[in-house]
Structure 1
Amino acid sequence: MEDLIPILLQFVRSRQKPGGYVVLAAHNACSFDVPFLHSEFTRCKAEFPSNWFFVDTLTLACEMMKSKGEKSTSISLQALRQSFEILLTGIAHRAMTTCF
């Protein structure tokens, strides 16, 4: 991971406005992605960017399901895609397929 952090930072910086904030979205970000990134940055003695913010689509999905009056036993990306009738293009759950 030590060699990947500079690549990740460069990729993000190449897409952000100078001095701007970075908003990253992930399903289950609060419980998995954010702690994982923090842990790896710390382990590699790299400073975690203070201008990175995260949106957890799992939290948003739960609120949307609640507003629809639905109780879903599954809040996986596949179940949500079916519930909200979102067409799948490409391979599901691959970063480069699902990012814009």
Structure 2
Amino acid sequence: MIKIILLAYLLLINIITYFTYAADKTKARQNKWRIPERTLILLALLGGSPAALLAMKHYHHKTRHLSQPPSHHPSPTHFFRKSSESLMQYYIDSLYYITYNMLNKTI
């Protein structure tokens, strides 16, 4: 029963996250009031990080500025971006591990 609830929650939060990122990108293209970034980050932290990454890749949401050529001296934002990417990857890996093991009842 808990597995079903967890999987339903993860599915729902990922659907909500994906469409929220898509709506924010649509609003950005139309120069309208956008969804606060803290809302987008909160959705990702609540379990929607796979959908957030998928939406970011699909819609080029908050990714174009990352493709700028690096300067000779890395800025503080470079280190923050790299550490946040590592943290997000760790979170996704942990979420995958927990979900996989719950499905296989090994935890």
TM-score, structure 1 length as denominator?
0.28
In terms of fraction of residues, the more strand-rich structure is 1
Task: Report 1 or 2 for greater relative contact order, CA contacts < 8 Å, sequence distance ≥ 6.
Answer: 2
* Bigger helix share: 2
